[in-house]
């Protein structure tokens, strides 16, 4: 097997282990999952840390989410498009919450890989850009720019997933979009039904 293929196979075997065990995985577990001898790892990677960082970057690659956002029906209304995007982002954040914490600790460690820190920044930028594109067709209906709305939506989704008061099960994409587009005030036409506000 060519070194690049071996590298890809080791990364692919490591990703599920990261989801299951976090950073506390051994080279023995990785070798067993990949079906190779432990020494094979060090023929392709300098050390376990390098492999873990590469697998972490693979797991956190935003491309599947970006592809799914690009596939959102452009003919749908803003609320529907934003709800679909918020659901995708919430799912991504929930799936990767444990890994994001690990990635942050790796990025802040004295042994961090500069490439990993740069890739994380690029991933955030690409996610913001992809969401901005979903919003852009309705820029004229918004008080803020599509990029600002995208940043707010990402902020809400992130706080909902990672914040101490988040509740992703009940505060879903539709609810986040309603908060973003409608705020919390009852619309004037409906206030008399709710006893005034």
| DSSP strands (E only) in the chain | none
pLDDT the model gives residue 99? 86
Supply 64's token pair: 């599947």
Rounded to an integer, the average pLDDT of 75-96 is: 95
At which residue do the structure tokens 């282990």 appear? 17
CATH H-level, domain 3-57: superfamily:
Homeodomain-like (1.10.10.60)
Global confidence as pTM: 0.83
pLDDT tens digits, one per residue of 146-165: 999 999 999 999 988 887 88
Rounded to an integer, the average pLDDT of 104-117 is: 66
Residues of the chain with CATH 1.10.357.10: 61-194
pLDDT at residue 14 above 90? yes
Give residue 24's pLDDT band: very low, low, confident or very high (50, 70, 90): confident
pLDDT the model gives residue 120? 82
Give residue 193's pLDDT band: very low, low, confident or very high (50, 70, 90): low
* Inter-residue contact 176 to 86 (CB < 8 Å): yes
What's the residue count for the chain? 197
Cα torsion at 94, 98, 102, 104 (round to 10°)?
30
pLDDT the model gives residue 119? 82
Residues of the chain with CATH 1.10.10.60: 3-57
| Rounded CA separation 23/52 (Å) | 7
Give the C-alpha distances (Å, rounded to integers) separating 21 from 42, 154, 189, 196. 21, 27, 52, 51
Who has greater pLDDT, 129 or 52? Answer: 129
* Inter-residue contact 66 to 126 (CB < 8 Å): yes
Q: Which of 49-53, 90-94, 132-136 has the highest mean pLDDT?
A: 132-136
Query: Among positive and negative, which fits the CA dihedral 108, 109, 112, 116?
Result: negative
Q: In the predicted model, what is the mean pLDDT of the chain?
A: 88
Asked if the 61-194 domain carries CATH number 1.10.357.10, the reply is: yes
Mean pLDDT is lowest, of 69-78, 115-124, 127-136, for: 115-124
């Amino acid at each position: 097997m060519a070194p690049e293929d071996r590298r890809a196979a080791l990364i692919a075997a490591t990703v599920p282990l990261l989801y299951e065990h976090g950073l506390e995985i051994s080279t023995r577990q990785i070798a067993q999952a990949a079906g190779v001898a432990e020494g094979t790892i060090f023929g392709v990677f300098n050390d376990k840390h390098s492999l873990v960082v590469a697998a972490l970057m693979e797991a956190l690659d935003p491309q599947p989410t970006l592809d799914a956002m690009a596939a959102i029906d452009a003919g749908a209304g803003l609320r529907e498009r934003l709800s679909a995007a918020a659901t995708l982002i919430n799912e991504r954040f929930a799936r990767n919450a444990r890994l994001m914490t690990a990635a942050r600790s790796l990025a802040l460690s004295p042994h961090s890989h500069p490439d990993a820190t740069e890739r994380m920044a690029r991933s955030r930028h690409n996610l913001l850009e992809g969401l901005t594109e979903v919003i852009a067709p309705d820029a004229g209906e918004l008080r803020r720019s599509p990029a600002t709305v995208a940043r707010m939506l990402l902020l809400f989704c992130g706080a909902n997933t990672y914040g101490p008061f988040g509740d992703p099960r009940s505060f879903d994409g539709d609810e986040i979009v309603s908060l973003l587009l409608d705020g919390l005030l009852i619309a004037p036409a409906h206030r008399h039904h709710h006893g005034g506000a």
